[in-house]
Structure 1
Amino acid sequence: MVLFLWQYICINGHEFEVPELDEFQYGTLLLRNELDEIQCVYVNDKAFSEIDKLVSGHSLVSNYEEGDLTDIVQSVFSIACDENVDGGGKYNIRTNQRCPKCGTRNMDDWGQIIPLKPVEVDVKEVTHNHWFSLSEAEKKSLVDAAILKELKKTN
């Protein structure tokens, strides 16, 4: 997959480059795990659509604006993603790359490098084997818990 280098500055002032999607590319999202491994998901992915539907129809967020709802869908989506068999935890859309100097994931600033610097990166699609083995009731229960957890973070 062709990604583009972005310049990041962590909260400790360290600058580094990270491969990311082009800022104008829509329909694809990158996910990272705790080992900074990257996978991707396309918004027409069946599991992504299921999460979107379950979150969008949830009574706790039914009055949310579209942008806020999108943030919750992206935060909750990791429950539908398989972990790397070698460890690293769940893949998450909202996990920043770790600063290679100090290890923080908290960033002060970032932006796509202009002129564009394309790089070829081996990126696989995230899998959902465990998610698809669950019943509808189990999926709903996981989404309920994930939404509650997300709402506690933001309140």
Structure 2
Amino acid sequence: MAERVYSYFDYDGEVELPWEGVADFAGMPHYFWLHESSSTPRSGIFDLAPVDATLLSRVVEMEAIWHAWDLDYHAGKVALDSHPLRSGVNPQFVNLKIEISNAAYLLRDATFRRRAIFRATEAFLALASRFEGKRWPIPGFHSATLEVCWSNS
């Protein structure tokens, strides 16, 4: 059964797996880190640790800031140098990133391992198909939204 991916970090959207992020596992939010990629596309082994409501709210807030920028970027309204992680552009985004990274570091002792397959959501694929063959920038387009299927490693 596919589960929700709240946010993912360090992902090129083409061939790589997300290196880390937050997704549901058994219906509950967990932080995940890539442990080992697999020869199967979009598949790998991940370390997971449950997250609390406070950390999840920070992740959701950071993702909302990112998503708003990403929509504007893909629409050609803003340049890459306006990325919210750049110094001085969006201090709240930077603070959230630091806070999330620090909290994730503390979770590393509580991990367990599972295999995962990530894929773009049906909603994203439907959106992307509407823009096939169009040239960038594309208003209304955005980076992939993902879902994940977990299994025992």
TM-score normalised by length of structure 1? 0.29
Greater strand content: 2
Query: Of the two structures, which has the highest relative contact order with CA contacts closer than 8 Å and spacing of 6 or more?
Result: 1
TM-score normalised by length of structure 2? 0.29
